[in-house]
């Protein structure tokens, strides 16, 4: 899938992200301008989920979910709150079934889940979403293949068109993907590229609401850049990828939010051969033996905590549990991820190595675009319920309210039209 996720491919998608971000901000403005004090409380994940679905639809597939305008789209409906519904805190029964299923060969595991999905509402929900998405994927692959043949591949910038085009051009039958594989890739992109960014925006806005001084400083930097764009004869909101990269404080806020609230909180791996994990410092085992590596036998499953690494005091200093964007602007390398572990900002948020997040450039640009658009137009502040916000792992890390976890993603913030734009 690499040809579709390079730096220039991601940069070319900025206008699509801007359109999705301004569609969200226009919707909010319409509602706020008729309210008394130009402010209201919005449940942020509900909105960001719709906006990022539109962004991934357009950027990933040149497909209009119409999520911001019309919630009746079949795929938009199937995906709405999907992670929260399917991955909600598992019951004891489902934990036992999962544990047993993980011991079965993959073919039997799939059959078991297929069977259970007839009676289990969560599995049924997941299965229904998969079927709708597969149907749309099938239609899109056919449409793209036809367009590429008709237009000889010119003009298409979305990820799926680039993928179908690269696949059609491949002369090697063995590396060429079947239609079924293409549909599966599409489904992965839908899943991986939607709720991750939606929830990340919610977490960023929550932290900016908790830290009004950081929010003000960020807005000031954005205003200065907007004035610069105008003085250069450009549109105030016509940011390019390079403009986003030229905003040091905005990028520090983004890195800090990515460190503090990684959307994917852990990864799972299994050793295919006997191996060992080297340790940065030797440790003493229960028997008193000093070891500098941990043996990992073939078949051993390993869970890697992204959240744990990103708040490791040895890497980020004693204040690793504090949200402090300034750490990224200080010259003390040892306290801002001195090791080069991940693909972005030396964080583990997008993982590292060959299986790292293929969409990280795409995600960073999308987050930069939304952050600038929303902070430029609105002021965010906490509501009493924010004290009860807790992090819930539902495939991705979702903000929920203590005691109301079953309601899914909740992050109620007061949103007000930015006073300096009135």
Phi, psi of 396, deg, nearest 5: -120, 165
User: Should residue 349 be labelled a site residue for ligand HEM when binding is judged by CB under 6 A?
Assistant: yes
Out of 47, 239, 328, 362, which residue is the one contacting ligand HEM (CB under 6 A)?
362
Nearer to ligand HEM, 189 or 375 (CB): 189
Measure Cα distances from 391 to 91, 262, 264 in Å.
Answer: 18, 11, 12
User: Nearest distance from residue 364's CB to ligand HEM, in Å?
Assistant: 8
Q: Which of 131, 129, 146, 141 is nearest to 177 (CA)?
A: 141
Burial of 15 (0-12, 13-18, 19+ CB in 10 A): middle
Residue number with CB closer to ligand HEM (95 or 188):
188
CB nearer ligand HEM, residue 270 or residue 322: 270
CA atoms within 13 A on the CB side of 379: 17
> Which of 13, 140, 198, 357 forms a contact with ligand HEM (CB under 6 A)?
357
Distance (Å, whole) CA 134 – CA 30: 35
Taking the CA of residue 283 as centre, how many other CA atoms within 13 Å lie in the half-sphere pointing to its CB? 8
- Between 32 and 136, whose beta carbon lies closer to ligand HEM? 136
Q: Which residues of 189-286 form beta strands (DSSP E)?
A: 266-270, 275-284
196 binds ligand HEM (CB under 6 A): yes
Measured at CB, which residue is nearest to ligand HEM?
359
**419 lies in the binding site for ligand HEM (CB under 6 A):** no
Nearest distance from C-beta of residue 348 to ligand HEM, angstroms:
7
State which of residues 57, 126, 325, 359 lies at the interface with ligand HEM (CB under 6 A). Answer: 359
Residue with the two structure tokens 């941990």: 294
Instruction: Give the nearest distance from C-beta 242 to ligand HEM in angstroms.
Output: 20
- Reading the block at residue 160, the tokens are 């799926």
Return d(Cα 338, Cα 346) in angstroms, integer.
8
DSSP 232: T
**Taking CB under 6 A as the rule, does residue 189 contact ligand HEM?**
yes
**Alpha carbon 249 to chain centroid, angstroms:** 21
Does the protein bind ligand HEM through residue 200 (CB under 6 A)?
A: yes
Measured at the CA of 365, the angle between CA 213 and CA 261, to 5 degrees, comes to 55
Q: Give the three-class secondary structure for 182.
A: helix
Nearest distance from C-beta of residue 402 to ligand HEM, angstroms: 24
Q: Least separation, in Å, of the C-beta of 260 and ligand HEM? A: 12
**Contact code string over 50-69 relative to ligand HEM, x by CB under 6 A:** ----------x---------
Stretch binding ligand HEM (CB under 6 A), from 121-129, 191-199, 206-214, 288-296:
191-199
Q: Is 379 helix (H, G, I), strand (E, B) or coil?
A: strand
**Site size toward ligand HEM, by CB under 6 A:** 21
Which letter does DSSP use for residue 415 in this model? E
Pick from 263, 374, 413, 417 the residue near ligand HEM by CB under 6 A. 263
In the complex, the smallest distance separating the C-beta of residue 291 from ligand HEM, rounded to whole angstroms, is 27
Residue with tokens 């040091």: 248
- Answer whether 49's CB lies under 8 Å from 81's CB: yes
CB of 354 to ligand HEM, least distance (A): 8
Please report whether residue 267 would count as binding ligand HEM according to CB under 6 A. Answer: yes
The answer to whether 140 touches 63, Cβ cutoff 8 Å, is yes
- Given 28, 63, 203, 350, the residue binding ligand HEM (CB under 6 A): 350
Give the interface with ligand HEM as residue ranges (CB under 6 A): 60, 188-189, 192-193, 196-197, 200, 262-264, 267, 349-351, 355, 357-359, 362-363
């Amino acid at each position: 899938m690499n040809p579709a996720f390079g730096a220039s491919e991601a940069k070319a998608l900025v206008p699509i992200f801007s359109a999705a971000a301004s569609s969200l901000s226009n919707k909010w403005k319409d509602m706020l301008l008729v309210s008394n004090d130009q402010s209201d409380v919005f449940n942020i994940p509900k909105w960001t989920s719709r906006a990022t679905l539109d962004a991934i639809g357009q950027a990933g597939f040149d497909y209009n979910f119409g999520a911001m305008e019309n919630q009746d789209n079949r795929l938009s409906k199937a995906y709405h709150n999907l992670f929260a519904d399917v991955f909600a805190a598992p019951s004891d029964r489902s934990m036992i079934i999962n544990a047993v299923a993980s011991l079965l060969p993959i073919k039997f595991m799939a059959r078991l889940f297929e069977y259970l999905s007839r009676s289990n509402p969560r599995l049924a929900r997941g299965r229904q979403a998969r079927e709708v998405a597969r149907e749309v994927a099938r239609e899109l692959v056919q449409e793209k293949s036809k367009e590429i043949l008709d237009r000889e591949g010119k003009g298409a910038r979305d990820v799926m068109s680039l993928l179908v085009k690269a696949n059609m051009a491949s002369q090697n039958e063995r590396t060429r993907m079947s239609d079924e594989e293409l549909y599966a890739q599409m489904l992965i992109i839908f899943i991986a590229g939607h709720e991750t960014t939606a929830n990340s925006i919610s977490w960023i806005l929550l932290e900016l609401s908790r830290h009004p001084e950081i929010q003000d400083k960020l807005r000031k930097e954005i205003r200065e850049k907007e004035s610069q764009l105008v003085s250069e004869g450009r549109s105030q909101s016509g940011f390019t990828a390079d403009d986003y990269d030229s905003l040091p404080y905005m990028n520090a806020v983004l890195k800090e939010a990515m460190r503090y609230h990684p959307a994917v909180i852990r990864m799972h791996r299994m050793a295919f051969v006997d191996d060992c994990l080297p340790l940065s410092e030797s440790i003493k085992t229960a028997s008193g033996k000093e070891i500098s590596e941990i043996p990992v036998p073939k078949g051993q499953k390993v869970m890697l905590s992204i959240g744990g690494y990103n708040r490791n005091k040895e890497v980020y200093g004693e204040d690793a549990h504090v949200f402090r964007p300034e750490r990224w602007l200080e010259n003390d390398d040892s306290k801002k991820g001195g090791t080069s572990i991940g693909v972005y900002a030396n964080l583990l948020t997008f993982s590292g190595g060959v299986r790292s997040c293929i969409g990280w450039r795409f995600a960073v640009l999308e987050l930069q675009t939304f952050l600038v658009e929303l902070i430029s137009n609105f002021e965010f502040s906490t509501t009493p319920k924010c004290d009860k916000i807790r992090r819930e792992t539902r495939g991705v890390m979702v903000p929920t309210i203590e005691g109301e976890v079953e309601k899914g993603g909740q992050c109620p913030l007061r949103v007000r039209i930015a006073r300096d734009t009135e």
